[in-house]
Amino acid sequence: MTVVDALQTITLEEIVTELVEVYGFEGLGQRVPLPCFEGESSLISAVEFLRATPRARARVERAFLFHLRERRGRDARERDNAKDVRGAAAAVVQATKGVTSVVQDMHTAIGAFPIITDLAYAAVKGVTGLVGVAVEAVVPTLAPLLGDSAPGPEREAVLAALNGVVGDHLVATGNALAIQMSLRPPLCGLHDGGTLLVLVHGSCMNDLQWTRAGHDHGRALLRDFGLTPAYAHYNSGLHTSTNGYALATLLETESAPFRDIIMLGHSMGGLVARAAIHVAEKSDQPRSWRSKLRALVTLGTPHHGAPLERGGNVFETLLGMTPWSAPLAALGRVRSEGVTDLRHGNVVEADWLDRDRFALAADRRMPTPLPDGVRCFAIAATKSGEEAGSEALASDDLVPVRSALGAHADPRFALSFTDTRVLRGTNHLELLSSPAAYAALAEWLGGEG
């Protein structure tokens, strides 16, 4: 049974009962701040309140969807895992001949994160001592994380990283590990009428990774302002324009119950969001959801490119930041369509069509301005804590500050944001948990609920 089926068939009493059993009244009240979960509330009184208050009921249903997502995982498809792993290995073998230092990197990453499960560490033990291991041996060692158990953070991180590395090849070969564009949790069981917040993750990542250091911008905006978060989950190895088209198409149906839409993109996710907006505006069949779009926020998005891609080192930096994807960091010279789009910040198909994406060519993108009538915001980060100096404001380890702010010497390409922030002493992934980043989001989006 999918989470949507569960929401459509379960009674309100069963929803509240399960949530209270898991979180308790106090814990549920922290997740869903409503008067029915305060003080001397009872199960009966809470259900009666929710029946009489449709907006409150919708918020509890959203909480239930999140609960199902955490309990059951978010991928309802059954997989032939042995076949999938062989297919993934074959895809990587075709892409590159071999890698080095995989085991050392895996041990270093795993050792830095004591919360890693025994299952994840077993993957490391399977290749202990194999320095300079062939790619054929890399992906099979991840088999325990791609097993028959319900999807969890480790498995999802491995799949997301693999899609970021060779996701275009997975699609071309019909491999079942290729991620399909979706919004999670699904929204078709909701009838909210409020504001939909669409969160779009970055390269080699997935929707679960919006949670970092116990914080999730989407959950916080739901808690504080009543926005309804929906997390895009997609194959970041495909072109940004391809993912933009898929997201634009998905939003045409999924956004129907909502009055307004806000898009929030991290890293590549900002390019995908812009691509979706472009499709909604410029296609032969304009999408109706575009008229609902009120705001766009990008976090560390390479609007004008990420220099690390040009050296093929983006994976060595990005994948090495998370313990579960670190085994794939050694595949740094494998660059999917999505990653080569990061070189200059491609948004539309014309930016890459009929061009050699591996050639060290000049920037030949088409100007793609920010959408009219939409409040647009950008947050950049820099590792430096200094206030002045162009070198101090270089980058967040992946994306230059100027690129993240849309600055460009050619006025045709410069992006005019409504407001921007530069967070110092912050790296690329810390944008997901930075209190300063959330403070800016709250300031910009607090009145949109």
* Number of residues that this document lists for the chain: 449
pLDDT at 312 over 60: no
187-246 pLDDT per residue, tens: 655 556 789 999 999 998 999 899 999 999 999 998 899 898 999 999 999 999 999 999
Burial 69-96 (b: 16+ CB within 10 A, else e): beeebbbeeeeebeebbebbbbbbeebb
- ∠ CA 438-440-442, nearest 5°, is 70
Exposure on the CB side of residue 77, measured as CA atoms within 13 A: 11
- The CA dihedral of 278, 279, 280, 282, to the nearest 10 degrees, is 80
pLDDT-based confidence at 76, cuts 50/70/90? very low
* Nearest residue to 375 via CA among 267, 279, 264: 264
226 backbone φψ class: left, alpha, beta (φ>0; ψ -120 to 50)? left
Q: How many CB atoms lie within 10 A of CB 259?
A: 12
Phi/psi at 283 (5° precision): -70, 165
- Taken in order of first residue, the domains within the chain and their CATH numbers are 1-72 (1.10.720.30)
pLDDT-based confidence at 47, cuts 50/70/90? confident
pLDDT at 363: 74
Helices (H), 32-152: 43-52, 54-72, 81-95, 102-111, 118-125, 135-138
239-297 pLDDT per residue, tens: 999 999 999 999 998 888 899 999 999 999 999 999 999 999 986 777 899 999 999 99
233 DSSP β-pair partners = 182
300 and 398 Cβ atoms separated by less than 8 Å: yes
- For residue 17, what are the contacts with CB-CB under 8 A and spacing of at least 6? 43
366-421 pLDDT per residue, tens: 889 999 999 999 999 998 876 555 544 588 888 999 999 999 999 999 999 999 99
pLDDT-based confidence at 432, cuts 50/70/90? very high
- For residue 356, what are the contacts with CB-CB under 8 A and spacing of at least 6? none
448 DSSP β-pair partners = none
pLDDT at 324 over 80: no
Place of tokens 């915001």: 377
What does the mean pLDDT of the chain come to? 75
Express as a percent the part of the chain with pLDDT over 90: 34
199 DSSP β-pair partners = 231, 264
pLDDT at 243: 96
pLDDT-based confidence at 422, cuts 50/70/90? very high
pLDDT at 375: 98
Mean pLDDT of 94-99: 38
Query: Which has more pLDDT, 126 or 361?
Result: 361
Mean pLDDT of 14-34: 81
Helix (H, G, I), strand (E, B) or coil at 326: helix
Q: How many CB atoms lie within 10 A of CB 353?
A: 10
Phi/psi at 127 (5° precision): -125, 15
- When mean pLDDT is compared across 36-40, 125-129, 196-200, the lowest value belongs to 125-129
pLDDT at 100 over 50: no
pLDDT at 103 over 60: no
Taking the C-alpha atoms of residue 197 and residue 5, their distance in angstroms, rounded to an integer, is: 23
Give this prediction's pTM.
Answer: 0.72
